[in-house]
Chain A
Amino acid sequence: MGDVFSNLLTGFQNALTLTNIGFGFLGVFIGTLVGVIPGIGPINAIALLIPLSFGLDPVTGLILLTGVYYGSMYGGSTTSILVRTPGEVASIVTTLDGYEMARQGRAGPALSTAAIGSFIAGTLALVGLMFLAPVIAKAAYYFGSAEYFLLIILAMSMISSLSTGSALKGYISVFIGLAVATVGIDPQSGINRFTFGITNLLDGIDFILFSIALFAIPEALSNIGKKKLETKMQIQKIKGSLWMNREDWKRSIGPYGRGSVLGFLIGALPGIGPSLASFMSYAMEKKISKHPEKFGKGAIEGVSGPEAANNAGVGGALVPLFTLGIPGSATTALLLYVFMMYGLQPGPGMFETNSTLIWAIIASMYVGNVILLLLNLPLVGLFASLLKIPLVPLFVGVLAFSVLGVYSINFNSFDLILLFIFGLVGYGMQYFNIPLAPAVMALVLGGLMEENFRRTMNISNGNIFVFFERPVSIALIIVIVLVVIVPGILSIMKKRRQKNASAEEGINIS
């Protein structure tokens, strides 16, 4: 343990120079600005700025790029909260309560809790990375495709928590998302599905395109398509302080802690972790809350928890990278590429073989994390005041930004047409009060679910009992039963009892 501290100390000594901190600020600043543009998430932001980091000294370059990374992650949450446009998978759930808070005039506290939650979770995750990495990495050995599949089923069963209205409409939304997920070439079989001979559809429907089309376009349309235009966004005056009040803090502390732990653990599962972390945290917070009915209507817990989980997931994703040499997500793969530029040799046991560099990376990530907080808390006011822009320019600007974001995914005109088509779908769904978030989440999970199920079946030659053969999969099945089936039966029983009771009490109602 003493080792860890002395290593970290050296890491910080290397990281904390005036130049480095300067570049850290620059990185976070650019990252935040770029991250605000939908479509340019952390992956593109880093890729775009890699050339800028050439010619810098390794630690400085690392600090710049990790700053960009953190900044762009946070930028994505900002647009989720302000204009309901998530920049990446992790901030889908932030749109639910974050945007609702903004409409109630509480954009400031929403942005603050996102920044503070990210910071706390980032800190905890890096501590976890330092001390728990080897243990958690070993645990990952127990997760095969069967366990992945069950975990995704667990997540799917929680999708309903994303919507508030009718269950039937929630299911329709889920199936729309699942249907969209099946478009494209099916890698396992090599068969093209729903591509109609169009080359551009072979890769499937891009998640970012779909979420911009479903969230940003309908919201902009319904705001500027009203019979009578309001000049300002339909929000109440910004209430009270821009900062979080005592009650906000009280309600956020728990979600910060739970989100950090959950995000870190789930994030450590290569391949599926990073897209699940924030979503699972949202579902959990809603499940354990005493006021689940407040979720989706501006509950601060629905922002604090997922934002913390999201950032802790980043630290978690570094566990398999540093201990097993396995990048767990597209973003971690890109981070690995960046680390390799600075001489990191990928592979298991990087902690031993590349210890100086690893500790420098951890220290620079921490510095990036601190700078994010320092830079963004003062900016909360500025961002929140963006909502004071008159309604027409604001939402016309959102439309223009959406097109720009979709253009920068694949740089082709076909995607723009897709944006229009799915924008219409989204507008229709919104018109018929079909919730949007389940469709987007189902698109993310659908592909993973099918992939892992078919993989499991192929490996076991079609033996369905394979799900009951390993300890972790059995444990997951038990959790699914406890979380899904038992509450379902209980609520049916409750309803029946109420029905009976009301039937006995007053027949004269009808």
Chain B
Amino acid sequence: MNRKASLLWSVLAVITLLLSACNGGNSPSSSNDNGEYNAKKQAVELVAPADPGSGWDTTARAIAQTLEKEKLINFPLQVLNEPGATGAVSLSQLVTQHKGDDLKLSITSTPILSNYYYGNSEYSYKDVTMIARLITEYYVIVVPTDSPFQTLDDLLQAINDDPANIALGAAGDDRLPFALIVHESGGDAKKVKFIDYPNGGGDIANALLNGDLDAGISGVSEFRGQIEAGNFRALAVTSKERLKGSVSEIPTVIEQGIDVEFGNWRAIMGPPGMSETAIKYWEDIIKTTLESETFQQFAENNQWDITYLVGDEFQEYLKQSDSDIKTGLEITGQIE
């Protein structure tokens, strides 16, 4: 590079520097000057507390893209990845460093509840502003097609007779719904032989096919393909009512006489101390977002069930979900 070119570069660099200095300086603040949300049109950050491509990230990006495509907001919104310890790292930053910040949102789901009980996080759902539930995914219990177990009852019976004989695959907290089912049907959840597959459904499906596992539990979308192809027999889903579409044949747990309903929800939350204006604003925008055609398409592609819920009903639901998780952890012996 000759001298002239380097000079040009440095001039360019200085200009860029000045420019970026001008439009920068957006210190986060709550900005409801006259009751209007984000009147200054500052950038809002939506945090996905996990790696790119993960479930939380997908949800965050789907929302961001819908907002942009349907022109629902008149300010920029960025998706930020803050992975670490199933959301605990990001949660701690949200609570401690963004208190009262109306311009910060985050995706969350059931680990916010269990992390607290494990002692991996100091904070729980009560320490943040839970804005709205977005989607719910239910669990399905499957066995390979050549398995002797025809119904959930068969499986539970076998576990009751000789728990060491039945290997059941689950990823982390996905054990909890099954533990609750065993517990509710009168068995001892501590004796269930859970085999952990931290990477989730794909590895469990593989282990069911290669004969390592006798049964498995995971989100419906993880096993739907195998069920449709006839490789797996679905014994039960954990939703209140039967699911729609190709999985409508699968009976619910409740139908089979065991009173357990368990959903893995995903929600959007803000930092503690978010203003009423901001909460109201996002409740409305999220509603429109979820109802839009763009998002419906996302939901269909990803096999999500849209289950919008806000306000007191949402708080009530969270309370129930929190107590279910606590019970699940207790009966599996993970907490006292």
Instruction: Please determine if A and B sit in direct contact within the complex, based on CB atoms under 8 angstroms apart.
Output: yes
- Which residues on A are within 8 Å of B, measured CB to CB? 43-44, 46-48, 50-51, 54, 140-145, 185, 187-188, 190, 192, 199-200, 202-203, 270-271, 320, 324-328, 330, 333-334, 337, 340-341, 343, 345-349, 409-412, 451, 455, 458-459, 461
Tell me the B79-109 residues at the A interface (CB within 8 Å): 80-85, 88-89, 92
B84 to chain A, nearest CB (A): 6
Interface-side segment among B125-133, B146-154, B195-203, B304-312: B195-203
Measured CB to CB, the closest approach of chain B to A17, in angstroms, equals 25
**Total A-B residue pairs with C-beta atoms closer than 8 Å?**
123
Cβ distance A350 to chain B, nearest Cβ, rounded Å: 8
- What 0/1 readout, one digit per residue, does chain B (185-197) give for beta carbons within 8 Å of chain A? 0000000010110
Tell me the complex Cα distance, A119–B207, Å: 33
**Distance between B67 CB and nearest chain A CB, rounded to angstroms:** 13
Instruction: Provide 6 A-B residue pairs closer than 8 Å at the C-beta atoms, listed in order of the A residue.
Output: A47-B51, A325-B229, A326-B202, A411-B82, A458-B195, A459-B195
Is the pair B164, A199 in contact by a Cβ cutoff of 8 Å? no
Q: Is the CB of A187 within 8 A of B226?
A: no
The range of chain B's interface size is 35 or more
Evaluate contact between A346 and B225: CB separation under 8 angstroms.
yes
Q: Is B209 an interface position by the 8 A CB rule?
A: yes
- Whether the Cβ atoms of B196 and A187 lie closer than 8 Å is yes
Determine whether the beta carbon of A347 is less than 8 Å from that of B198. Answer: no
Residues of A within 8 A of B195 (CB): 188, 455, 458-459
Chain B residues positioned under 8 Å from A412 (CB to CB) = 82, 84, 89
Tell me if B211 and A144 are in contact (CB < 8 A): yes
Q: Are A48 and B52 in contact, CB atoms less than 8 angstroms apart? A: yes
Cα A345 to Cα B246 in complex, Å, equals 13
Instruction: Give a binary string over B283-317; 1 marks a CB under 8 Å from any A CB, 0 the rest.
Output: 00000000000000000011000000000000000
List the interface of chain B (C-beta within 8 A of A).
51-53, 57-58, 61, 65, 80-85, 88-89, 92, 118, 120-121, 164, 167, 172, 193, 195-196, 198-199, 202-203, 205-207, 209-213, 224-226, 228-229, 231, 301-302, 334
Which residues of the partner chain B approach A188 to less than 8 Å between Cβ atoms? 195-196
B322 to chain A, nearest CB (A): 19
Contact B206 A455 (CB under 8 A): no
**A341's contact among B52, B88, B301, by CB below 8 Å, is which?**
B301
CB-CB < 8 A to B202: which residues of A? 270, 326-328, 333
A43 touches B52 (CB 8 A): yes
**Given A47-B52, A51-B61, A145-B207: 10 more A-B contacts, CB < 8 Å:** A141-B209, A187-B196, A199-B121, A202-B85, A203-B84, A324-B205, A410-B82, A451-B198, A458-B193, A458-B195
Q: How far is the CA of A343 from the CA of B228 in the complex (A)?
A: 17
> Is there contact, CB below 8 Å, between B226 and A325?
yes
**Closest residue of chain A to B334, judged by CB?**
A190
CB-contact partner of B80 in A48, A190, A411, under 8 A: A411
Which A residues are in CB contact (< 8 Å) with B89? 199-200, 410, 412
**Given the complex, which residues of B lie within 8 Å of A190, measured CB to CB?**
118, 334
Contacts of B172 in A (CB 8 A): 187
Q: A200-B84, A334-B53 are in contact. Are A271 and B226 (CB under 8 A)?
A: no
- Given A47-B53, A141-B210 in contact, is the A347-B224 Cβ separation under 8 Å? yes
Known contacts A141-B210, A199-B92, A458-B193; decide if A333 and B65 are in contact (CB<8 Å): no
Docked pose: A271 CA to B171 CA in angstroms: 14
Q: A199-B84, A410-B83 are in contact. Are A325 and B167 (CB under 8 A)?
A: no
Find chain B residues with CB under 8 A from A54 CB.
65
CB of B205 within 8 A of CB of A326, answer yes
For residue B59, give the distance in angstroms from its CB to the closest CB of chain A.
12
Bound CA span A409–B84, Å = 10
Q: For the complex, what is the distance from the CA of A203 to the CA of B83, rounded to whole Å?
A: 9
Q: Please give the distance in Å from A259's CB to the nearest CB on chain B.
A: 25
B120 and A348 within 8 A (CB): no
* Chain B: CB-nearest residue to A411: B82
A273 CA to B66 CA, complexed, in Å = 36
B82 touches A51 (CB 8 A): no
Residue of B nearest to A461 (CB): B164
Which residues on the A side are within 8 Å of B211 (C-beta)?
A: 141, 144
For A333, the chain B residues whose CB sits under 8 A away are 53, 202
With known contacts A187-B196, A187-B198, A337-B58, A348–B225 Cβ distance under 8 A: yes
Residues of A within 8 A of B53 (CB): 43, 46-47, 330, 333-334, 337
**Most chain-B Cβ atoms within 10 A of its Cβ — which of A192, A326, A451?**
A326
Q: How far is the CA of A54 from the CA of B51 in the complex (A)?
A: 20
**Cβ-neighbour of B85 out of A203, A326, A409 (below 8 A):** A203
Q: Which residues of A contact B51 (CB under 8 A)?
A: 43, 47
Contacts of A185 in B (CB 8 A): 85, 120
B81 engages A411 (CB within 8 Å): yes
A40 to chain B, nearest CB (A): 10
User: A202 contacts which of B58, B88, B199, B206 (Cβ < 8 Å)?
Assistant: B88
A203: B residues at CB distance < 8 A = 83-85
| Cβ of A384 to closest chain B Cβ, rounded Å | 18
Residues of B within 8 A of A202 (CB): 84-85, 88, 120
Establish whether residues B225 and A347, one from each chain, have CB atoms under 8 Å apart when the complex forms. Answer: yes
Per the bound structure, the CA–CA distance linking A110 and B145 in Å amounts to 50
Chain B residues with Cβ under 8 A from A47's Cβ?
A: 51-53, 57
B92 touches A145 (CB 8 A): no
Which residue in chain A gives the minimum CB-CB distance to B335? A190
Partner of A348, one of B92, B164, B193, B226: B226
Contacts of B226 in A (CB 8 A): 325, 347-348
Complex CA gap A47/B88 in Å reads 22
Contact A348:B231 (CB < 8 A) given known A44-B52, A320-B206, A458-B167: yes
Please name all residues of chain B whose beta carbon is closer than 8 Å to the beta carbon of A461 when the two chains form the complex.
164
State the Cβ distance, A50 to closest chain B Cβ, in Å.
Answer: 7
Please state if B302 and A340 are interface contacts (CB–CB under 8 Å): yes
CB <8 Å contact, B205 and A325: yes
Q: How far is the CA of A337 from the CA of B211 in the complex (A)?
A: 27
Tell me, in angstroms, the Cα distance from A345 to B203 when the chains sit together: 18
Residue of A nearest to B165 (CB): A461
How many Å from the CB of A202 to the closest CB on chain B?
4
Partner of A144, one of B196, B207, B228, B301: B207
Residue in contact with B212 in the complex, picked from A192, A326, A459, CB distance below 8 Å: A459
Q: Please, how many angstroms separate the alpha-carbon atoms of A270 and B205 in the complex? A: 10
Which residues of A lie under 8 Å from residue B81 when comparing CB positions?
A: 411
| Cβ contact within 8 Å between B212 and A324 | no
Chain B residues with CB below 8 A from A411, complex form: 80-83
* Closest residue of B by beta carbon distance from A456: B212
Give complex CA distance A127, B302 in Å.
30
* B193: A residues at CB distance < 8 A: 458-459
Bound form: Cα–Cα A340–B302 in Å: 8
Once the chains bind, are B228 and A347 in contact (CB under 8 Å)?
Answer: yes
Q: List B contacts of A270 (CB < 8 A).
A: 202-203, 206
A341 to B202, CA, bound (A): 18
